[in-house]
Structure formats: structure tokens, C-alpha cells
């Protein structure tokens, strides 16, 4: 081999090693990338089955059920429009409570149950993860639009709220 061929071989080998390194870095990044989905998106089948993602919303009232083993907890996360069943094995954060904001990380199984590997609770009474807040706001807007489409004006809505009439979960 002459000097020119050796130089080209060295450059080619360096390019292959560089491309392999970039590929491995991108592959690792892709495996660790975790997307956020709302219960409405999960119900619409937008969330991947068997792949890790985050689910955010509010823990539905009267939905927390603890199994006798003391570690397994079942609860529902809602965005006021849709609800997703969640199963978690572990110790819940101290601030975890019904009707409070929560983000859970885990996988959706074939039965449609979100199996959480981690549960994150809000840290004070004013905090809501931005993604969860947006999901709740979008669900609320959809509920308002639905109420208006059904002919409920603001006066009849105010009267219903004032009278204490039962409201749907996504009432405006």
C-alpha cells in the first residue's frame, strides 16, 4: 500500500467508527425518550402499548384501592374527559391523594391498564405539571364546547351550579 491508500483507509475507518458512535448515541437517546400523554390521548389509542411514557392528570375521587399485600395500589387518572386505570407496585409519595395532580411513568398493557413504575405527586397546592395542566384545560374546553352544542347557555349553567344539580365529570 502506498501512502495515499493508507491515508484513505484511515479516513474511511475513522468515518465508520464515527458513524457507529453517532448511531449508538442516537439509539440510546431514543430508548430513554419518554413522551407525555393525557387520559384522552390514551383513550384515543395515541399512546404506545408496551413502551414507556408518562401519563398525567388528576387522581379520580374514590378510585384508590390498596391490595392486601400493602404494596400494590390501583387508582384512576382523569383529565375530566377520559379516565385511565393505573396499577402501581411500590410506596406512593407522601403528597399522593385523590383529586390531586399526578404524573405516572410506565407502560400500557394489552388490557388497557397503565402499569406504573414511578408515580410523581404535585409538590404544593398550586403546582400542576405543565403537560397535565394543558391536558386538563383542553378537556375542560371540550366540555364547555359540548355543553354549548347541547344548548346550555351561561345563565342555565350558572343556575344549575347554584342549585347544586349533579354535573358531569367534564362540566364547564
Task: Give how far the C-alpha of residue 131 lies from the chain's centroid of Cα atoms, to the nearest Å.
Answer: 8
Local structure of 102: helix, strand or coil: strand
Residue 127 known to bind ligand: yes
Separation of alpha carbons 139 and 144, rounded Å: 9
Residue 123 known to bind ligand: yes
Answer whether 100's CB lies under 8 Å from 130's CB: no
Answer whether 52's CB lies under 8 Å from 107's CB: yes
Separation of alpha carbons 156 and 158, rounded Å: 5
Instruction: Cite the beta strand spans of 1-137 per DSSP E.
Output: 35-37, 53-59, 65-66, 72-78, 83-89, 101-108, 114-121
Residue ranges at the known binding site: 123, 127
Residue ranges at the known binding site for heme: 123, 127
Amino acid at each position: 500500500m502506498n501512502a495515499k491508500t493508507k491515508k484513505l483507509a484511515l479516513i474511511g475507518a475513522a468515518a465508520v467508527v464515527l458513524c457507529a458512535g453517532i448511531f449508538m448515541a442516537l439509539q440510546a437517546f431514543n430508548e430513554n425518550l419518554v413522551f407525555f400523554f393525557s387520559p384522552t390521548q390514551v383513550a384515543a389509542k395515541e399512546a404506545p402499548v408496551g413502551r414507556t411514557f408518562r401519563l398525567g392528570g388528576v387522581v379520580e375521587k374514590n378510585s384508590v384501592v390498596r391490595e392486601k399485600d400493602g404494596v400494590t395500589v390501583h387508582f384512576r387518572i382523569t383529565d375530566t374527559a377520559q379516565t385511565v386505570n393505573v396499577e402501581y407496585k411500590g410506596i406512593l409519595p407522601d403528597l399522593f391523594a385523590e383529586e390531586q395532580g399526578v404524573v405516572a411513568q410506565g407502560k400500557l398493557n394489552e388490557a388497557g391498564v397503565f402499569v406504573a413504575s414511578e408515580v410523581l405527586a404535585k409538590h404544593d397546592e398550586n403546582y400542576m405539571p405543565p403537560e397535565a395542566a394543558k391536558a386538563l384545560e383542553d378537556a375542560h374546553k371540550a366540555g364547555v364546547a359540548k355543553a354549548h352544542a347541547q344548548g346550555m347557555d351561561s345563565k342555565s349553567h350558572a343556575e344549575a351550579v347554584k342549585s347544586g344539580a349533579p354535573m358531569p365529570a367534564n362540566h364547564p
